[in-house]
Amino acid sequence: MGHPRVKVRSDITWLDENHVFHVLDVTFAILYTIEIVLKLMAFRLEFFKTAWNLFDVVLVAIWYTTEYMRLDTFLNPMILRLGRLARLMKVVRHVGWFRQFDSLHMLISAIRSSLMVLVWSALILISLLAVSALVAHGTLAGYLDDDHMPIDQRMNIFTHFGTFTRAFISMFEITFAGHAPVTRAVLENVGEGSAFALLVFKLIVSLSIMKVITGVFLHETFKVCSEDDELMIVQRQRVVNQHRKKMKRLFSNLNRDGDDALSWDEFEELMNDNWLRQWLQSMEIDTNHLRRLWALLDNGDGRLTADELILGVGRLKGSARSIDMLYNVHSVEAIQATLDDVHVSIKHMKHMQARGGHEGDLIHPQSLANMVKPSTPRIDQVRWC
């Protein structure tokens, strides 16, 4: 083309470039063909149910058509091959076990989930810009047709608003880029009123519509990051593995004699270490009551194994959860029901003694309930139970 800043042609800089790229082209075509044949042998008719497989067939067919039949196609096969790189996004699922790829996973998931937001936002903005372009073009049409105005000024305005396409691009530029060139041109050539109208449009679109669209995108991103099942599972498994490693290290530090379990004496002696207590407290484990902590960790045999330590500390970490509170509520309700039965039995015994009967006399439960209506005793009143 004779560009002034390019002095050496590419075929002179790299003499064998055409040969090298042709060899690479043939190599990739052979690899794609082998892949398609192997997939057809493995999946048979199921092969044609995947869109990516059909895309590969079309890609290889276009290459053979352009290479051997010397037919020109409407699309360069290299562009389709670059589109095939989108399949590399599937690799993100297999590298999710590495913490460094969490951000990449969230980015891909957020972009994929924001496609519909992008579609509706684009439709709203295109409609708004189209209407604005029509209004701007119709408003300035009289100025463009005025032969009394200087031709250079009318040419300048025509450059920005002479047709619908030019007006649409100018409104797009005002919305997403700097509005100064277009506004200045209208100000200097048409008048201050038209320039002020463009500034009002810029304020309305930038401060309201664009901010709302940006907020919707952020909301969708946060929603995806908080509801991504794969990422939550991976992060949870990572936390579990990290907790297991910490507890095994703790057990190895506590287990000085080298056996497979800890006794209470070993646990009490080693837990007096200040650094160890502070380390457990940093994981929200209360070490002020060692006997109670031992009872919660041990299964009752008097020996604390590594698995018991891992499971017990995992249950004790953190604050109370909803499931724990609900379980306690049901337990208290069951205890209250038992206390009510005990209270009814005591009333029954006193009633039988007052009538001169025996404790073994049987009364139908429903009759007993109708005869004696139990009061609700408090827990601190029945400690003797």
For residue 260, what are its two tokens? Answer: 């497979």
Q: Which residues of 81-120 are buried (b: 16+ CB within 10 A; e: fewer)?
A: beeeeeeeeeebeeebeeeebbeebbebbbeebbeeeeee
Q: In terms of DSSP bridges, do strands 304-305 and 261-262 run parallel, antiparallel, or are they unpaired?
A: antiparallel
Distance between CA atoms of 107 and 221, rounded to whole angstroms?
Answer: 8
Distance between CA atoms of 12 and 18, rounded to whole angstroms?
Answer: 11
β-strand partners of 262:
304
Fill in the amino acid letter for 316: L
Q: Which residues of 141-179 are buried (b: 16+ CB within 10 A; e: fewer)?
A: eebbeeeeeeeebbebbeebbbeeebbbbbbeebbeeeb
Q: Give counts: helices (H), strands (E), the chain.
A: 19, 2
Per-residue pLDDT of the chain (385 residues; tens, 9 = 90+): 677 777 777 767 777 777 888 888 888 888 889 989 999 999 888 888 888 888 888 888 887 887 777 666 556 666 766 767 666 656 555 555 555 666 776 777 777 778 888 888 899 999 999 999 999 998 888 888 888 888 888 898 898 898 899 999 999 999 888 888 898 888 888 888 888 888 999 888 888 888 888 888 888 877 776 766 666 776 677 777 777 777 777 777 766 666 677 777 777 766 777 777 777 777 667 667 777 777 777 777 777 777 777 777 776 665 656 666 777 888 888 898 888 888 888 888 887 877 765 544 544 454 544 444 444 444 444 343 3
Task: Specify whether the CB–CB gap between 143 and 149 falls below 8 A.
Answer: yes
Task: Specify whether the CB–CB gap between 337 and 299 falls below 8 A.
Answer: no
